Chain A
């Protein structure tokens, strides 16, 4: 792990889980696999806190454990998984576009909690949706369940490995740690549950005038005592499936930019057909015949078979080689060259960076060298075959993999800088922010108890005009920094996908 990655992981862990979890997590990322007591000793943290931190990290799939010989359990951090926390908004938003608010909240809950049982998710999401609905309306569990099943069917959520069922007649002491297993066929299997119920509204502050903390309220009286029907069956978001979706999105939009809408729709259709049949790390999709593609085009897309064939030929002939022709049966067999597509996307990213950072001339040189593979500064033909330095020619070339790695490393650094700057800006204005929050809270409570306009005005004036200006500026800056983080993460995704795809082929 590079220093830049470790730094970024540290910032992410600290922001999401606090300093203690950050300390333990970063320590594991740095040192690799370690047992409990060594972690406590090396980090100077109490055993109790290390345990809690590890529980949190394991719950969120950031740390895994393994039993080594002599019963020693060792814990290992997953650095790349920590970095995925940057992408949470994108995952949630994608779920929203595909499965609307219900899907969005399901994925959000799973990401916020690491793993949950289906019944817990359904209940929580139903409650949350009910909060947003009009008075008197509630969200039925069945509807949430249906969306959950759809997410499982399309592999956006998956089951976590299970604790093996222990037999009661086990002789000897139980193992120091369970070995979790899951079989391929069970991974998306939804348990048969009959979840009946509706979402419940939390009591609003009007009814509950004293504003008691939740502890005082009777804690879910009936629910806790009921046995959980799917106890032990946990679900998590399947990030790889989301990544496959992002990759498909990137390819489709690249085709749309380069050619036209119709071509991109054809490519989208082909990718959709290959979703389940092709593994996400394959270099190209399974061959699809032109006939099949024609039949699978979206309803309402009225192009004739001949036009489709023309488009396919055009796509296959394009130098970018996103689509390839692999045979002639069935009207022509076509594949999507996933690896080549990722390479093109990574290259385009590099070109764009060169252009924006060094100017058009440099970009032109860069593109030329890429195209010709090896270029000399002045195209001279070598005169003598020996290796004398005065007559040796040095050629320039672009090593895409190296360049991609270097740019990726820079991206990690960039995001770390963005986060640090954002934290700095927030800290600088901490006093003002707290004041503003207090004022807002007071106004809210006064509005709730029906205060006059004049009184509200008075409270609002507690924040002076220059202070308001300052707050506006702060908000603008923080928004910009946050938006930048999201965009840099998109670049990270493209580069990482390309690098991963290349490494798998070597």
Chain B
């Protein structure tokens, strides 16, 4: 290929005029900047399909978007602290059901281990059959301690895991997970309750009225 360069002008195998510029003309300048963000299109796009199916799917899509935001799987990012804590904000929190995964299906490390503020109620009763009498007393004391604090029962998981490590009982895994499921449902409800006498429904503006809409709300939302 290099051999032909000396033999006069190069001959193109295709008709050069057809490509867009004639022979001898300078090749277009090298492009020095990125192409435009919104290039002009030569032809207008084809209009979207319309029909019953399309309309229904559109409505479905918008509904799903809204529904997903209200589901417990949607993890809200904790907002930054505002300058003044608005009083009404406490009562405007959208109630979301807590979701408890089926721990049996998940790796053990998935179970949360953060310290709980409120202890479980009947948790330790189950443990009674497992340990020695010494451990039982320790359990009872621990239970009393926990009952004094508030919070969710996840600490019990941590404690149980520790015990598991020390006692090495294969059976515990299954049992305690059943407990957890029952436990967490119990105190979830309590956790949601405010620590005062105000009726949760009292708020200043009409924000929350109708906001908790049905699942079957047909109105399209954005």
Contacts and interface: CB of A to CB of B under 8 A. Distances in A.
Contacts of B185: 219, 224
Interface in B80-121: 95, 97, 101-102, 104-114
Contact of B215 (A128, A389, A478): A128
A93 B55 CA distance: 11
A60 B200 contact: no
Given A215-B193, A224-B185, A433-B222, A390 B10 contact: yes
A442 B75 CA distance: 28
A253 interface: no
Given A441-B209, A475-B220, A58 B106 contact: yes
Given A52-B75, A112-B67, A441-B209, A166 B170 contact: yes
A394 B13 contact: yes
Main secondary structure of the interface of A (DSSP, over half): helix
A444 B174 CA distance: 49
A178 B173 CA distance: 11
A346 B54 CA distance: 22
A17 B65 contact: no
Interface string B31-58: 0000000000111011011000110111
A244 B138 CA distance: 60
B214 interface: yes
B192 A392 contact: no
Interface string A456-491: 000000000000000000110011101111110000
A70 interface: no
Given A53-B75, A89-B57, A211-B208, A178 B105 contact: yes
A29 to B, nearest CB: 18
B110 A17 contact: no
Given A132-B216, A219-B189, A483 B58 contact: yes
A67 B113 CA distance: 21
User: On chain B, which size bracket covers the interface?
Assistant: 35 or more
Given A358-B42, A482-B58, A21 B75 contact: yes
B132 interface: no
Contact of A215 (B53, B174, B189): B189
Q: Give the 4 A-B residue pairs with the shortest CB-CB distance, closest first.
A: A177-B107, A215-B192, A170-B170, A213-B95
Interface of A: 15-21, 36, 48-49, 51-56, 58-60, 65, 67, 73, 88-90, 92-93, 96-97, 108, 112-114, 128, 131-132, 163, 166, 168, 170-174, 176-178, 180, 202, 205, 210-216, 219, 224, 232, 234, 356-359, 376-378, 388-394, 426, 433, 437-438, 440-442, 444-445, 474-475, 478-480, 482-487
26 contacts: A18-B76, A52-B75, A52-B112, A56-B73, A58-B101, A88-B64, A92-B64, A93-B53, A112-B71, A168-B171, A178-B105, A211-B208, A213-B95, A214-B95, A224-B185, A356-B46, A357-B43, A358-B43, A359-B43, A378-B14, A389-B13, A426-B222, A441-B208, A480-B48, A482-B61, A486-B58
Given A378-B15, A433-B222, A475-B222, 19 more contacts: A55-B101, A58-B106, A89-B60, A93-B57, A97-B53, A112-B64, A112-B68, A128-B216, A166-B174, A180-B105, A212-B199, A213-B192, A215-B200, A234-B105, A357-B43, A377-B14, A440-B210, A478-B222, A483-B58
